[in-house]
């Protein structure tokens, strides 16, 4: 893959705008490149451009010729009437063709198909062995089982009967079993997979299986994901979308985080140093700019100030965005370097002062009732099936409850939520919902069910005003209130008003769906996978708002970050076919972290650092090398101390020297001015004029040398001051 000087736009908006001076982005065979960036920055559009589904405006955006390409969109298979097995294997073109040649259309293991000649059969048999056709069913079984499909349903259940999440899994299985996914078996000239958030809708077991599959894959992968665990586990390179540019970081996600952390620290230093420098330059220009003797120096200072302000602007951007994936560090940095405001009103809110400025506020619960939902011995199941899939649920949802429903896919979590929302009836047991309780139900497929022809603003207004009557809180919802709700989630300008929902990215669609909820005053929220397609900033904004909200929350999620930051008050565990039960909140560690321990991004970062440091100890001559390294380090440390002491002394003496230089420069400026006046008075005496000009040039050269030394000493003092401050802070 090669991306060079690309310009990619959506309508009048540039998503990517790179020039020849920007780096060329490459993915080499065997790479798994993680493509990261905030929602709406152009990640999915870039994948579409690489896949030939979208035109780019200019530049180079290409995949090597003859490479088998596979593309997974954010949305799954829809409208297919095939069974799960038929749809999943429909792109196994080579194997399907060979099956017909060797075994006939019936698919049974016949001796040979009658219509094939002996030569065709021999050729097909050789190719069948080359692609390991005898083990194809094992590979199919591995993929479908790994992604969580029940073997009993493969050959009978239609894709049309599946939810959006399960249809997404069928699409993923179809891609993994395609010519591109099986490039090692099919013998094509390499495979290249474009994966757009493949772990959406996957539980922890299916996600772990997919991560292992990716690590074993012999082709190249460009992966869009907001899941830090996945990025950390599988990526060999990170490509970040930043300020409409692509920036490539070789190595693992942990190495990327270290590089970003170092960049953030360096950017902060540049901010401090350049900020002080610009103040000094502005003072000099304001003081001496009007003086003829200082005119050249003032002009030089203006040029330097212009450059310093440009550096300051870039450093600000780096400081605000460099540590974005290291959340704690980023939040601390952003709280000191930027501010944001929200125009929405309500009882709770979350501000995320990064480059996305995302905040979320939920309307106050409209009713004063304390108890919302009570269940006793509740059994739930699919419509059209008699037997329940989850039984004996007994729990309560009241004001300020935050209940997390855990369990593997197919265990009944979404079915329980639909039952509580009265979308489907219970199989048995008691379900009591307070008459004064207004429910808000967020379906995991809601973002895919939005009206594609409407704008985000039109949709939010429609949803917020449904059922509004005279005197209702919803009757007074204005366009400006809807714009504020969308804007608080980062959907602004053309994305909110002009572009249809069909033109938005998956993450933007999810935000539009959430914005509709923000304006609906409800007492209890039932959320089914609300974080699908959302970036880290959006997830953090949602959890912060939900934690502080006064209503009740019950949610299904497979996102460890969302689950841990929500700080649930209760966990309900669904085990599929068994009784549901309330559990301690530590149950999320078992359900969401199969290893049995919930670990934060900070913990993972620290662990990876330890692993990489420990790996250095594997060298055969570690003792000798360590001793040599210690000696070299001591020598270097001594040399650095000596150099620092020399610089410190020079900086301490610099003010006196600068004062002398400034007086000397003032004398030279006066001399140059006097000589210039004499030159003008020479008239036609060319010889005298040349003599005077030579003196002017000599004095100007001397003044420039003084000025260069003045600048060096000023910079030295600032650097030493910064080093001293840093040492004191440490």
How many distinct structural domains can be found in the chain? 3
Q: CB of 8 within 8 A of CB of 48?
A: no
123 and 62 inside one domain:
yes
The answer to whether residue 344 is domain-embedded is no
Which of 195, 217, 249 terminates a domain? The answer is 249
- Please, are residues 45 and 15 in contact by the beta-carbon 8 Å criterion? yes
Q: Tell me, what CATH number does 74's domain have? A: 3.40.50.300
Q: How far apart are CA 713 and CA 12, in angstroms?
A: 49
β-strand pairing of 371-380 with 396-398: antiparallel
630 part of a folded domain: no
What are the phi and psi torsion angles at 520 (to 5°)? -90, 110
Query: Do residue 60 and residue 164 come from a single domain?
Result: yes
Report the distance separating Cα 34 and Cα 521, nearest Å: 39
CB-based burial, 558-568: b 16+ in 10 Å, e otherwise: bbbbbbbbbeb
Could you give the 3-state DSSP secondary structure of residue 220?
strand
pLDDT of residue 627: 59
3-state helix, strand, coil in the chain (%, to 5): 50, 15, 35
236-to-34, 175, 254, 269, 321 alpha-carbon distances in Å: 8, 21, 10, 30, 22
**Per-residue CA distances from 308 to 277, 278, 336 (Å):** 8, 7, 21
CB burial class (10 A; 0-12, 13-18, 19+) of residue 249?
A: buried
- Name which of 219, 220, 170 is nearest 198 in CA terms: 170
Contact indicator for 671, 699 with CB cutoff of 8 Å = yes
Averages of pLDDT over each 10 residues, the chain, 730 residues:
87 84 87 89 89 88 85 72 90 86 61 61 86 89 92 88 83 92 72 90 88 92 91 94 90 88 72 69 66 61 66 60 41 34 38 50 82 88 74 85 83 86 89 89 81 90 65 62 78 80 81 82 89 81 88 89 86 70 49 39 37 38 54 68 82 87 84 81 75 85 84 81 67
Helix (H, G, I), strand (E, B) or coil at 473: helix
Longest dimension (CA), the chain: 115
Distance, in Å, from the CA atom of 710 to the CA atom of 714, rounded to the nearest integer, reads 6
202 and 325 belong to one structural domain:
no
Scan for tokens 């299986």, then name that residue.
209
Cβ atoms of 494 and 14 closer than 8 Å: no
Instruction: Yes or no: say if 491 and 456 are a contact pair by the CB < 8 Å rule.
Output: yes
Closest Cα partner for 534 from 597, 598, 442, 451? 442
Contact 324, 330 (CB under 8 A): yes
> How many other C-beta atoms can be found within 10 angstroms of the C-beta atom of residue 127?
18
Label residue 450 left, alpha or beta by phi (over 0 means left) and psi (-120 to 50 means alpha): beta
> 40 and 132 share a domain?
yes
Closest CA to 175 of 32, 324, 71: 71
If asked whether residues 227 and 275 sit together in one domain, one would say no
pLDDT number for residue 352? 38
Q: How far apart are CA 686 and CA 244, in angstroms?
A: 59
Tell me, yes or no, whether 321 and 196 share the same domain.
Answer: no
Going from the C-alpha of 405 to that of each of 301, 566, 570, 602, 604, the distances in angstroms are 63, 12, 9, 26, 25
Domain check: are 283 and 188 in the same one? Answer: no
Q: Using only the alpha carbons of the chain, give its radius of gyration.
A: 33
Tokens representing 496 are 């909110």
Same domain assignment for residues 37 and 134: yes
Question: What secondary structure letter does DSSP report for 59?
Answer: E
Residue 28 placed within a domain:
yes
390, part of any domain: no
Clarify whether residues 226 and 158 are in a common domain: yes
Closest CA to 71 of 213, 191, 210, 205: 191
Q: Do 187 and 322 lie in a common domain? A: no
State pTM to two decimals: 0.67
CA distance readout (Å), 371 to 349, 407, 413, 432: 23, 25, 22, 10
C-beta separation of 222 from 193 below 8 A:
yes
Question: Residue 174: what pLDDT?
Answer: 93
Rounded Cα–Cα distance for residues 356 and 242 (Å): 12
Q: Are 186 and 131 in contact (CB under 8 A)?
A: yes
What are the structure tokens assigned to 176, written together?
């993994």
Query: 468-492: buried (b, 16+ CB within 10 Å) or exposed (e) per residue?
Result: eeeeeebeebeeebbbbbbbbbbbe
List, in order, residues 6 or more apart from 542 with CB less than 8 Å away: 350, 360, 514, 530, 531, 534, 562
**Whether 37 contacts 95, CB under 8 Å:** no
CB neighbour list of residue 66: distance below 8 Å, 6 or more residues apart: 188, 189, 190
d(CA 15, CA 56): 10
**Residue range(s) defining the domain that contains residue 654:** 644-729
Phi/psi at 198 (nearest 5 deg)?
-70, -20
List the CATH number of the domain containing 689.
1.10.287
Tell me, yes or no, whether 11 and 119 share the same domain: yes
Structure tokens at 150: 């029940």
pLDDT of residue 633: 61
Q: Per the domain annotation, does 553 fall within a domain? A: no
User: Would you say residue 264 lies in a domain?
Assistant: yes
- The verdict on residue 424 lying in a domain is no
**Block residue for tokens 């065997």:** 30
The candidate with the shortest Cα–Cα distance to 559, out of 297, 307, 230, is 230
| Structural domain includes residue 224 | yes
Give one word for 407, left, alpha or beta, with left for phi > 0 and alpha for psi -120 to 50.
Answer: left
Burial of 121 (0-12, 13-18, 19+ CB in 10 A): middle
Choose one of 289, 320, 337: the last residue of a domain: 337
278 and 202 in one domain? no
Q: Pick from 308, 337, 366: which residue ends a domain?
A: 337
């Amino acid at each position: 893959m090669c991306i060079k000087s690309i310009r990619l736009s959506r309508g009048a908006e540039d998503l990517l705008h790179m020039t020849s001076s920007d780096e060329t982005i490459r993915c080499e065979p065997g790479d798994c490149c993680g493509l990261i960036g905030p929602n709406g920055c152009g990640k999915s559009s870039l994948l579409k451009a690489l896949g030939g589904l979208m035109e780019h405006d200019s530049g180079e955006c290409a995949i090597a010729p003859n490479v088998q390409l596979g593309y997974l969109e954010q949305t799954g298979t829809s409208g297919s009437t095939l069974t799960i097995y038929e749809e999943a294997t429909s792109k196994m073109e080579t194997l399907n063709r060979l099956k017909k040649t060797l075994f006939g259309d019936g698919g049974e293991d016949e001796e040979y198909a009658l219509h094939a000649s002996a030569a065709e059969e021999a050729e097909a048999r050789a190719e069948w062995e080359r692609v390991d056709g005898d083990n194809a069913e094992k590979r199919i079984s591995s993929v479908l089982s790994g992604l969580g499909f029940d073997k009993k349903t493969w050959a009978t259940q239609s894709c049309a009967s599946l939810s959006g999440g399960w249809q997404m899994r069928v699409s993923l299985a179809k891609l993994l079993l395609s010519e591109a996914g099986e490039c090692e078996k099919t013998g094509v000239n390499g495979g290249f997979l474009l994966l757009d958030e493949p772990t959406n809708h996957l539980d922890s077991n299916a996600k772990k299986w997919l991560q292992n599959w990716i690590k074993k894959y012999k082709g190249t992968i460009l992966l869009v994901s907001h899941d830090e665990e996945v990025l950390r586990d599988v990526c060999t390179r990170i490509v970040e979308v930043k300020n409409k540019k692509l920036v490539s970081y070789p190595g693992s996600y942990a190495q990327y985080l270290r590089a970003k952390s170092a960049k953030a620290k360096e950017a902060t230093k540049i901010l401090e140093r350049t900020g002080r420098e610009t103040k000094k330059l502005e003072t000099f220009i304001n003081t001496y700019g009007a003086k003829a003797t200082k005119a050249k120096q003032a002009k030089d200072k203006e040029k330097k100030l212009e450059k310093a302000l440009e550096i300051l602007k870039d450093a600000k951007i780096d400081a605000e965005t460099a540590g974005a994936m290291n959340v704690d560090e980023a939040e601390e940095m952003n709280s000191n370097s930027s501010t944001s405001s929200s125009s929405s009103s309500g009882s709770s809110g979350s501000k995320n002062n990064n480059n996305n400025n995302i905040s979320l506020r939920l309307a106050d619960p409209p009713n004063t009732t304390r108890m919302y939902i009570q269940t006793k011995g509740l059994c739930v199941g699919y419509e059209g099936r008699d037997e329940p899939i989850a039984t004996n649920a007994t729990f309560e949802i009241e004001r300020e409850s935050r209940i997390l429903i855990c369990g593997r896919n197919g265990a009944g979590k979404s079915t329980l939520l639909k039952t509580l929302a009265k979308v489907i009836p219970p199989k048995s047991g008691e379900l009591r919902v307070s008459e004064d309780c207004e429910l808000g139900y967020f379906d995991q497929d809601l973002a895919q069910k939005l009206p594609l022809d409407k704008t985000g603003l039109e949709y939010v207004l429609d949803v917020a005003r449904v059922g509004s009557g005279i005197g209702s809180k919803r009757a007074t919802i204005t366009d400006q209130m809807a714009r504020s709700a969308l804007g608080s989630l980062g959907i602004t300008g053309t994305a909110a008003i002009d572009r249809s929902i069909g033109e938005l990215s998956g993450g933007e669609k999810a935000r539009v769906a959430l914005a509709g909820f923000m304006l609906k005053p409800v007492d209890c929220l039932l959320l089914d996978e609300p974080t699908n397609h959302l970036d880290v900033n959006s997830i953090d904004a949602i959890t912060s708002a939900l934690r502080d909200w006064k209503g009740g929350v019950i949610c299904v999620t497979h996102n460890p970050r969302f689950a841990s930051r929500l700080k649930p008050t209760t966990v309900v565990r669904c085990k599929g076919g068994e009784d549901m039960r309330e559990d301690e909140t530590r149950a999320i560690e078992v359900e969401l972290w199969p290893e049995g321990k919930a670990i934060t991004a900070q913990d993972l970062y620290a662990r990876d650092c330890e692993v990489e440091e420990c790996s250095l100890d594997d060298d055969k001559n570690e003792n000798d090398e360590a001793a040599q390294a210690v000696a070299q380090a001591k020598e270097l440390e001594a040399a650095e101390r000596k150099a620092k002491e020399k610089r410190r002394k020079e900086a301490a003496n610099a003010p006196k020297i600068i004062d002398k230089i400034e007086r000397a420069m003032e004398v030279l400026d006066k001399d140059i001015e006097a000589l210039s006046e004499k030159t003008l008075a020479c008239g036609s005496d060319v010889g005298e004029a040349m003599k005077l000009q030579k003196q002017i040039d000599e004095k100007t050269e001397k003044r420039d040398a003084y000025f260069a030394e003045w600048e060096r000493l000023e910079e030295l003092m600032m650097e030493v001051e910064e080093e001293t401050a840093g040492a004191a802070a440490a």
